[in-house]
Structure 1
Amino acid sequence: MSSLSIVIPAKNEADGLRKVLPDLVARHPEAEIIVVNDGSTDSTSEVCREFQVTEVVHPYSKGNGAAIKSGARAASGELMVFMDGDGQHDPADIERLLAKVDEGFDLVVGARSGVGSQASVARWSANTLYNKLASSMVGHHIADLTSGFRAVRRHLFMEFLYLLPNGFSYPTTSTMAFFRAGYSVAFVPIEVANRIGTSHINLLRDGVRFFLIIFKIGTLYSPLKIFFPLSIVLGLLGSFNYLYTYLVDARFTNMSAMMFLAAIIVFLIGLVSEQITNLMYKDV
């Protein structure tokens, strides 16, 4: 087995780490275990010292994605496993992810199954929508776009480090980036436990941000797949409006002109975005 680094982003997850780290250390004594302390105010540092794992400390909270990036930079293993420190992910499943990597996959994602593996029905519904949209974009079935439990080849992951946001959508970005670059991605079904402690995600506060992830998926992978259909819709609305006003008043209205112009502008935005996206992946 190649050298392994296990990266755990943690913000006030001392109780969860006390549950996860003993099992993790026992199962993978040879692995480099890195806990990224994202500005915690609890006893996270004490827990890291107790179990003698590497701690990377942020002086203030920078976000889950920023913690992932710090952990990836600090890791030395050829393979990296990312998992949460809140007790949801079972260390026993790591071997299943790594076995899939050994089969030749570059990124292996632990895919949560069913409503029971999600924090709430609302979260499950949103994730189902993300999965379906992403699957349609890439032409492959995506079982879980937003799971933070994953194994990856480090040198490939580092290629996309600059793309990753500092917030909670790093799994979305990394998954789509691997598909876009033509790397092999697999999904392994897992069951997750109830988290220990309180979630840092607020559905009301983060609702708009999660909704914007849908558009980010499209613009990250292939912007024209989003902008071209929208352009067609605007063009058709303009045509229908023109046909109606011509038959009723025998004239071409400003509304029709605006819709036609909007259709052209949206298409051109998509075209430019497509070229920018291609430049983003020109070296991979």
Structure 2
Amino acid sequence: MTEGGCVLADGKKVSVVIPAYREADSIQTVLVKLRELDVVDEIIVVDDGSDDATAEMARQAPADVRVLQHPYNIGNGAAIKTGIRAATGDIIILMDSDGQHPPSEVPGLLEHIGRYDMVVGAREMSSQATAMRRVANMIFNTYASYIVGKPVPDLTSGFRVLKAPIARNFVYLLPNGFSYPTTLTIAFFRAGYAVKYHTFRAEKRTETSESKVRPLRDGMRFLLTLTRLAVLFVPLKIFLPVSILMTTTGFGYVVSQLVLDRRFSGFGGLVTTIGIFIFMLGLISEQIALLRLVNSER
């Protein structure tokens, strides 16, 4: 390992995983800048079934690169999983191939990995693509902060450094699509691992690169995914508020009917019962979530 790498990562082997899809025009620039840093031991590019020359351009880059290819487009998360499984390092860096994640920020992220289990590159709000995207990310970050009980300044950033053994424990939970950063964030916080956010300014995409995410199409889907992850990892965060709302509403209606009309409301009793049932369901789900986390660390 290089001298710079030893200092930044305490002598650990560092692997970089870069998912790529139709990034033939930008991938070489990213790889050259990354190799110039001289702080990594292994670079893995996972071509997710691109129909352009992405894989060929990665192989031709003046850097020592392993190129893995999916036979067809499976998804960004699937490429990340392939890369994590193939990586041989003790520390894994995840970053995009479109130039938005500056390789010059890698040393800054690596400086924190000795004390933390995952270091996330949190984009400055002003450097995020559009006003609509910034507003959406603020909503997602606030919702995620409620779910994990900790501040989450950038939920969707794919620029992060992880300790490899922990990443491999959670790899089976990662989806094939773009929500893998969200899954990693919630899983790490829920399991009690230390997470650090390192602020950086995201670069603009290259002129020929375009976002694969469509805000209007994917925004509601992402909220549903975030809720599903909350139910998966911290179910009481979802079940308890719903239970309290239904129980208090139903009980309040029962009391009002008894006071005003001197009769018992069957509807109010039903709503109260459903609220109590949802609370019990949340307790059971919480135990299942804890067992899942225990099994993932075996």
| Cα distance, 1:262–1:20 mapped onto 2, change above 3 Å | same
| Cα distance, 1:258–1:121 mapped onto 2, change above 3 Å | farther
Report deviation, 1:6. 0.6
Amino acid at match of 1:244: S
* Structure 1 residue corresponding to 2:168, chosen from 150, 158, 175: 158
Alignment of 1:119-130 (within 5 A): 119-130=129-140
Q: Percent identity?
A: 44
Residue in structure 1 matched with residue 9 of structure 2 by the alignment: none
CA distance in 2, matches of 1:39, 1:213: 24
* Structure 1 residue corresponding to 2:195, chosen from 182, 185, 189: 185
Q: Is the deviation greater in 58-67 or in 264-273?
A: 264-273
Amino acid at match of 2:101: H
1:101 counterpart SS class: coil
Residue in structure 2 matched with residue 5 of structure 1 by the alignment: 15
Question: How many residues of Structure 1 are paired with residues of Structure 2 in the alignment?
Answer: 282
CA distance in 1, matches of 2:131, 2:287: 38
CA distance in 1, matches of 2:229, 2:138: 14
Contact map agreement 2:16 2:40 (CA 8 A) in 1:
no
* Structure 2 residue corresponding to 1:112, chosen from 123, 143, 148: 123
Gaps of 5+ in 1: none
CA distance in 2, matches of 1:254, 1:200: 51
Residue in structure 2 matched with residue 95 of structure 1 by the alignment: 107
1:65 pairs with 2:77: yes
Residue in structure 2 matched with residue 261 of structure 1 by the alignment: 273
Which deviations, in whole Å up to 9, do the C-alpha atoms of 1:71-119 show, x marking residues without a partner? 00111111110000011010000000101113x21100000121x2222
CA distance in 1, matches of 2:23, 2:264: 63
Residue in structure 2 matched with residue 221 of structure 1 by the alignment: 233
Amino acid at match of 2:181: P
**TM-score scaled by length of structure 1:** 0.93
| Cα distance, 1:107–1:30 mapped onto 2, change above 3 Å | closer
RMSD between aligned residues: 1.7
CA distance in 2, matches of 1:59, 1:53: 19
Contact map agreement 2:140 2:223 (CA 8 A) in 1:
no
Residue in structure 1 matched with residue 3 of structure 2 by the alignment: none
CA distance in 2, matches of 1:234, 1:16: 52
Report deviation, 1:228. 1.0
* Structure 2 residue corresponding to 1:35, chosen from 35, 42, 45: 45
Report deviation, 1:208. 2.0
Report deviation, 1:64. 1.0
Residue in structure 2 matched with residue 79 of structure 1 by the alignment: 91
Which deviations, in whole Å up to 9, do the C-alpha atoms of 1:169-218 show, x marking residues without a partner? 11111111111112111010010012231111112221221111331342
CA distance in 2, matches of 1:278, 1:30: 35
**TM-score scaled by length of structure 2:** 0.89
1:6 counterpart SS class: strand
1:144 pairs with 2:154: yes
Report deviation, 1:244. 3.0
